[in-house]
Amino acid sequence: MEVQPSVSNEQANDLEVLKKMEDDHLRLQRQLEERRVTSEQRLKRTENKLEAAMLRFNAIQCENKKIRTEIEHVLKDRAIFNQAWDKMLNALTKGKKFLTDLFESSTLAYDQRDEWCTKLKSVQEKGRMDQLLQVQEMRDLQKSFDHEMKLYNFLSKKGVIRINAKEEKRVEERRIAREKQVKEKYTAHVKILDDINAYTQELDINKIIEGFQHTEQKNFSVYKMLTEYCAENEVLRRDLQRIRQNLEDRKDWIEMMEERQNKKLKVLREELEQKSKITQKLREKLEIQTQQLNDSMEKVYEIFKMLDCSLEPFHNLLGDKHPSFHCLNLTFCLITDRIKELIHTAFYYERHVQKHHGTSRLRTYTVHSELPKFWSAVPINYMVPADPCPSCVEARWMSRVPEELEAPLEEDEVLSAITELSSDPAFVRSDRIHPLTECKVPRSRVILARRYMQN
């Protein structure tokens, strides 16, 4: 009876131990299952982060390439603009110099024209006065000639002596009347002489004549001086009028030049405002892109730290000792090498370490190394039946490039240009896509012969 209770106690203890072992085993299995699920979730998150980082990295690379292309394009445009600006400044300087010479020559010619016009007017005035004097002289001579002829005719007709009492009486009366008139004139002249003697208080005739001549010369001198003064006033008036006209013309020319300069300045200000707006837009775009580059660089640095890459290669550089824009290629190379190393480690762990442990759950989540797929263009032989003829392409397409500077086309302009070009019957595909040997242009024979000579 004493042995049975001891056996039952031992069995109970064994059952309790077994139960505890089963509980520990179940708890251990649950912990292992939880750790496995946690490891799988952590692995998934790590793979998702890596994939997201790769996507961001590829997007950043693509954006960097676009930005570099756009920066190169902007630099080329700036160089072209500087060349055009220098060319325009040279042309403007030459034009200003030419205009200055032209204005000086025109001013000199205008002054000479006014001088010769004044001389011509004076010569015309003198010729007119001479003509009037000659006409008046001819009229006086014609009158004298007519009078002499009439007198000659009259005397030739009336020169015959005729005895006529009435006529003789009339002649005698006329003679008496004429003598009477002569006496009256003599009396008048004597009275005048007396008045002159009383006025001059001089009885000598020669002295009176000398005084009269002196007074007459004095009056003539005054008249001559007055005439010269009037002529000089007339010349000065004409010169003043000419100077005023020149001042008005110069004022009109200055106003015209000011108006042109104002218009040109207005146009230049408008162009400056447009260029300033474009420059401001480009600066804003550059700031946005710079911010994007900084954000991308921060993400790359986070990936660099997450992958625990070594900073030893940066110590040999002269610049920054950590990942930056100046050593971006080195950073990407280190990240790529670290990713390849992790991929190789996982691949080795899957193939060799987990080979004898049955089916590995890590195989489902292992990242296998795959070769990158590069884009390759479709060969032209698959697109068109033959290679394009270089002679026709150069004659029809390269000749469309103008010599002057052209601005880049916008998206709408590009689409309209492509539509217009596709509708042009001179550029049909069947017309421009043909081999060089089948080209009918004489220039193709020269190119073909040159190829034969080179081969």
pLDDT in tens, 154-171: 877 766 556 677 778 888
Distances (CA, A) of 216 to 26, 205, 206, 209, 258: 163, 16, 15, 10, 62
Is the pLDDT at 368 greater than 60? The verdict is: no
pTM of the model: 0.27
Q: What is the pLDDT of residues 347-365, one digit of tens each?
A: 777 776 655 444 444 444 4
More confident residue, 377 or 1: 377
**Is the separation of the CB atoms in 374 and 348 below 8 Å?**
no
Mean pLDDT across 55-80: 89
pLDDT tops 70 at residue 371: no
* Spans of all domains in the chain: 1-129, 168-203, 307-368, 380-397+432-455
Average pLDDT over the chain, rounded to whole?
A: 80
Q: Is the pLDDT of residue 313 over 90?
A: no
Question: Which of 112-126, 147-161, 171-185, 275-289 has the least mean pLDDT?
Answer: 147-161
Q: Is the pLDDT of residue 47 over 70?
A: yes
pLDDT surpasses 50 at 26: yes
Q: What is the pLDDT of residues 245-266, one digit of tens each?
A: 999 999 999 999 999 999 999 9
Instruction: Taking residues 75-90, report their average pLDDT.
Output: 90
Instruction: Kindly indicate the confidence band of residue 377, based on its pLDDT and cuts at 50, 70 and 90.
Output: low
